[in-house]
Amino acid sequence: MEPLLEVRDLHVDYLSDGMPPAQVLRGVSFTVSKNEAVGILGESGCGKSTLALAILRLLPSRSRLKGAIFYKSRELTNLPEREMEKLRGAEVSLIFQDAGSSLHPTLRVGTQIADVAAAHHKDWSARQRREGAEAILKEVGFDQVERIYASYPHQLSGGQQQRIAVAQALISGPSLLIADEPTSSLDTTVQAEILALLKRLRREHSLALVFVSHNPAVLAEMADRILVVYAGQIVEEGSAQQVLNSPLHPFALALLRCVPKDVRHNGPDRLLSAIPGSPPDPAETPAGCPFAPRCAERMDVCGSRMPSETRPEPDRKVRCFKYGG
């Protein structure tokens, strides 16, 4: 079956005056099928948010994008901005890490939801927009819909704000939701609530999901399949089961060693202590495997050239000399 989303050899560089370009994504390829939930796992700064923004063509002007992105067989990288506007929110939606700052501070949240409806249903009357917004507010779990509708973001809690962001993302009926660490700024109880909400809505709206996180425990809960990203490359890919229970790539191994054995137990983020060392500078192109300086299983060949992708098992990919490459 043809995938809903296919990203092919995506490169993103951030440009700044007098500096070499920062190569934040270095040839990322993956697919997302209809109704599938794909988790993206990686350290801070590895390019997860950049990937999310690139798919929706929301990168800052001082950046460069190469590669191809197909959504329902349409190539997005050369789509005119007008067409992208129609697609954003109606076909592919994005929710951000910090709902507090992703909502506009001086507009009522109801208006902000109704605005999204208005953008995609030009023929709706003001009344229809309001009714649509109130209906979706009910769906994301609010009881006093009218009071919430008239609130400003700063009057709501972090969890409520994230529900509003979810309402905005879903009001125009997208087929794919990209969630960029939607719960990592929330405390554990609220985080669990939002995750449960997303799971329910995913079922009810038959959504495909790209869920970005640096927390394996959260992905264990949310993802069917997991992509592990290191320094702008996918270093391992497989089903959530496979990747979380028997990781292949030394980076994935090290990352998972930092969380408690029972990853299904939804622990707080701080259990995730960092792997010693730091990722390579995105402004430089490493000669060998980018993980080599931090890798416990480094071999001679690792410093000489970049490992290529291999398939040690069916439906599993890895980028490491331990498995050929």
Partner 1 sequence: MAYLLRRLLHGALVLVGVSVLSFLFVQLAPGEFFSDMRLNPQVSPETIRHLRAQYGLDRALPIRYVRWARSVAKGDWGYSFAYGLPVSKLIWSRARNTLLLTITSALLAWLISIPLGIYAAERRDRWGDRVTVAGSSALLTVPDLLLALALLILAIRTNAFAAGGMTSPDFAELGTVAKIKDVAAHFTLPLAALVLGTLPIFFRHVRAGMIEALALPSIQSARAHGIPRSRILFRYALPAAANSLISLFGFSIATLLSASLLVEVVMSWPGLGPMLLEAILARDLYVVIGAVMLSTFFLVAGNLVADVLLYLSDPRIRRGPA
Say which DSSP state 91 is in.
T
Least spacing, CB of residue 102 vs partner 1, in Å: 4
8 binds ligand SF4 (CB under 6 A): no
CA–CA dist 114, 89 (Å, integer): 12
93 binds partner 1 (CB under 8 A): yes
- 116, interface contact from ligand ATP, Mg ion, partner 1, none, CB < 5-8 Å by kind: partner 1
Q: How many residues bind ligand SF4 (CB under 6 A)?
A: 13
253 binds ligand SF4 (CB under 6 A): no
Nearer to partner 1, 70 or 152 (CB): 152
CA–CA dist 210, 233 (Å, integer): 16
Give the binding range for ligand SF4 (CB under 6 A) out of 90-98, 240-248, 268-276, 315-323: 315-323
DSSP string, 44-55: TTSSHHHHHHHH
Structure tokens at 25: 């994504």
Contact map string, positions 214 to 253, toward partner 1, x by CB under 8 A: ----------------------------------------
300 binds partner 1 (CB under 8 A): no
154 binds partner 1 (CB under 8 A): yes
Nearer to partner 1, 85 or 224 (CB): 85
Least spacing, CB of residue 93 vs ligand SF4, in Å: 35
Number of H helices, E strands in the chain: 11, 12
Q: Which of 71, 96, 230, 291 binds partner 1 (CB under 8 A)?
A: 96
Q: Which of 47, 250, 279, 280 binds ligand SF4 (CB under 6 A)?
A: 250
Interface positions, 277-296, toward ligand SF4 (CB under 6 A): 289, 291-292, 295
Interface positions, 117-136, toward partner 1 (CB under 8 A): 119-120
172 binds partner 1 (CB under 8 A): yes
Give the binding range for partner 1 (CB under 8 A) out of 53-61, 186-194, 243-251, 305-313: 53-61
Give the binding range for partner 1 (CB under 8 A) out of 102-110, 196-204, 291-299, 304-312: 102-110
CA–CA dist 184, 186 (Å, integer): 5
Of 100, 193, 208, which is closest to residue 142 (Cα–Cα)?
193
Contacting residues for 19 by C-beta, under 8 A, at least 6 apart: 283
Nearer to partner 1, 16 or 278 (CB): 16
Contacting residues for 4 by C-beta, under 8 A, at least 6 apart: 32, 33, 34, 36, 71, 72, 175, 176, 208
Of 237, 214, 196, 202, which is closest to residue 319 (Cα–Cα)?
237
In the sheet that holds 5-14, the strands lie side by side as 22-32, 5-14, 63-71, 74-75
- Other CB atoms closer than 10 Å to residue 167's CB: what's the count? 27
Least spacing, CB of residue 8 vs ligand SF4, in Å: 23
